[in-house]
Structure 1
């Protein structure tokens, strides 16, 4: 009888049962194909129907009914999720794992990659970057787009540009930074895709570094295979995870997002004062003590969105509200008000995070997926060493990523 290490055996049994019971998120073949081929030349398209086979998140039977009723009656957002950072428990959600357009919340991952470049010595906060006219003519000069108002040919510090990304949601500042690091819109977008895949995410699609729809950028900027109908999509639970990984590794971003105002390009002819638009910061319309960030986003398809970071009842949380649309009277539901309502209600249940029956938003990272695959393959080789040695000696060029174990996990994880 084949004997596997205890932990590996448990993982295999658990994953096998999950597959059979359908308790893991299952993806239609076309979604798996899209995400698995993002680094190549995928065919891009998005609609909710594309993700219709994703199993919805189910809250446990012992979840407080009064919370469910309150959220159902008072919240208008298309989707939302509130996450306890330490446990990754989902404290509240609606369609929390269904991908929708995220607009400028995309800038969170771009900011992560900028800080990663700084950490790696490729950039410094004081470094000056000249804004290319190719970018400013498209993104800075269009009054319909959120911008930092960059001027082509003028140099800006990385520090100023980062404040422009977070506080002004500057599409121009985002592209200037990402192009400087990666060389182009396409390469910057590919870097985002690769990073998200490293974190184990798969139900997403990215087309621009800023969150702008493809219809608003030149065709020459678009990823191969994409068209004007495409824009960045991700689920609320994954936006929360993306934000969590960003602020945990680079808390410096919170030094920017907590500011009420900032003087941009101070002491020059290009000086501006940026004011926060985060209505959840202390002193603002829906201000809450402990809120530290983070990022808004809006397009016609996305509606109004916000991902908030902070502390409630002494615990770090991430809250995301997506798809706040226009009402019949022409007004919009507010993601800030929606998040305030969520957090206010959850504050009455300070120990909810302890409920181990709550679903989790954490994914098995790509590195962990590969380590698990190697562990299982090693166990199989150990159990049948003659076969393993024979395969090794007869064909040194065997594709070991095309075998029963790998193919089993391909059905679960996007390798």
Structure 2
């Protein structure tokens, strides 16, 4: 019998160890799975030579990080830098400096830049007026360097260096702690053949940023200027329509629905490539209430143009992982709720990011509801979701106290009214007693107080007495 019990205990121990070993092995395998493995498992043909140098995925409403790999590696973003220039253009429009319909008359320098073969451009003709709206399409769809320069010059009245300083100041303001800009378009200043030359700025320097910083920029761009996606989502668009200068622009974001790597819900943002930066990708996609932002940097190298397509494979794969794992949704409704066994009242609906098929873990602190997701914020300047609340019991007690206070105040006013009425009636009775007073029939007879006078005096005394009581003790009714 003892042997049997010992054997049972040994078997149980072996099973327990095996179980936890299996969990540990599975967890370790999951932890070691990298972006290359994820992309290959998603069915894309790729290999180590194209593996991105850095990547990140964040949720667009909360700024919470859902995936990251070397997010703080400093890198040349190439044309993704145009997103900062576009941010400053939208900001200037928001400030009333110009509108989408404002036109910019192209200069000889603008035309010359548009003809530089090595640069991505659209056609520009000197002397022609180009609307801001069309130049935004040219910048974000065609990745036109000349359109970006024209917009930057509009913002600063042709002060090229000032615009670069504005880019760097805005980066600091937004919390982009590892970014430095030397040009407005992503192309080295020296490649503009002298037609674009910000004074005092290094002509041969590349812009420097990180996946995290570009995610922060994209977060603020979509939050503050959500119409951005209307300029980044067209796969093809014609600008300068109904003029001799009409031009069809093609989008290089092949993850847009209908293109080679079409991804459901994708509607932006920007691609970028250069000899020193390889192939880069800033993207956003929305499914139901969940919008994600991702940055993929350093796919392949400039000599192998296959990297232009491969960046979309990696981007689509980590989008799939994030959408399958997380969702943004309403977690609590405005009004009465029970959280952590406490009855609370929310000022508004509470939305947040949560792992699918899990229950949220809420925290109540400092009159705010927050959620413990285990997810980091992409920037300390972007706070995690929270909603103010009141404890239902405290609110009810406060309401009762207010009601009692208001009731006491009301009763006090009523009491003083009655007290005053008694005094007035007493005075009235006294006056009537004098008015109705009769002279004595016999000379020398004793004067007597009339009944009305006695009643009046009593009413006055009672009124005065009750008023004193009300002041010293409180309402008597």
TM-score (norm 2): 0.59
C-alpha distance in 2 between matches for 1:326 and 1:150: 30
Number of residue-to-residue matches in the alignment:
302
- How far apart in 2 are the matches of 1:72 and 1:288? 19
| Cα distance in 2 between the residues matched to 1:127 and 1:116 | 15
Q: Which residue of 2 aligns with 1:184?
A: 159
1:124 aligns with 2:99: yes
Mind listing any 5+ residue stretches in structure 2 that lack a counterpart?
1-25, 40-49, 329-352, 355-371, 383-477
Structure 2 partner of 1:236: 211
Query: SS where residue 111 of structure 1 aligns?
Result: helix
Choose the corresponding residue for 1:165, options 133, 139, 143.
Answer: 139
Residue in structure 2 matched with residue 326 of structure 1 by the alignment: 301
Q: How far is the alpha carbon of 1:282 from its aligned partner?
A: 1.4
The match for 2:319 is 343
> What 5-or-longer segments of structure 1 have no aligned partner?
1-61, 366-415
1:400 equivalent in structure 2: none
Give SS of 2:213's match.
helix
Q: Is the contact made by 1:132 and 1:176 (CA closer than 8 Å) also made in structure 2?
A: no
Q: Residue 115 of structure 2 aligns with which residue?
A: 141
CA shift at 1:224, angstroms? 2.0
Range 219-228 or range 103-112, more displaced: 219-228
> Are the counterparts in 2 of residues 213 and 231 from structure 1 also a CA contact under 8 Å?
yes
Asked if the contact 2:84/2:217 (under 8 Å) is kept, the reply is yes
2:271 to 285, 288, 296: 296
For the Cα contact (< 8 Å) 1:199–1:363, is it kept in 2?
Answer: no
Q: Which residue number in structure 1 is paired with residue 373 of structure 2?
A: 356
SS of residue paired to 2:325: coil
Distance in structure 2 (CA, Å) of the matches to 1:231 and 1:329:
21
Higher RCO (C-alpha 8 Å, min separation 6): 1
Between the aligned partners of 1:314 and 1:68, the Cα distance in structure 2 is 30
Alignment of 1:49-128 (within 5 A): 65-66=29-30, 68-73=32-37, 74=39, 76-128=51-103
Aligned-pair CA distance for 1:309: 1.1
Answer with 330-339 or 173-182: which moved more. 330-339
Residue 77 of structure 1 contacts residue 325 of structure 1 at CA under 8 Å; is this kept in 2? yes
Q: Does 1:264 align with 2:228?
A: no
- CA–CA distance in 2 between the matches of 1:176 and 1:187? 14
CA gap of 1:167–1:351, structure 2 versus 1, over 3 A, is: closer
Tell me, yes or no, if structure 1 residue 151 matches structure 2 residue 125.
yes
Match of 1:193 among 159, 168, 174: 168
Asked if the contact 1:201–1:363 (Cα under 8 Å) also holds between the matched residues in 2, the reply is: no
Counterpart selection for 1:247 from 222, 229, 233 = 222
- What's the C-alpha RMSD, in Å, of the aligned pairs? 2.5
- Cα distance change, pair 364–130 in 1 and its aligned pair in 2 (3 A): same
Question: Once the 2 structures are TM-superposed, how far is the Cα of residue 325 of structure 1 from its aligned partner?
Answer: 1.7
- Name the one with the larger strand percent: 2
The alpha-carbon distance between structure 1 residues 227 and 140, as it changes in their structure 2 partners (threshold 3 A), is closer
The answer to whether the 8 Å contact 1:106/1:209 transfers is yes
Cα shift at 1:200: 2.1
Structure 2 counterpart of 1:203 = 178
For 1:308 and 1:245, locate their aligned partners in 2 and report how far apart those are by CA, in whole Å: 14
Give the structure-1-normalised TM-score. 0.67
Distance 1:297 1:239, change over 3 A: same
Structure 2 vs 1, CA of residues 217 and 184 (structure 1 numbering), >3 Å: closer, same or farther? farther
**Aligned pairs for 1:278-297 within 5 A:** 278-297=253-272
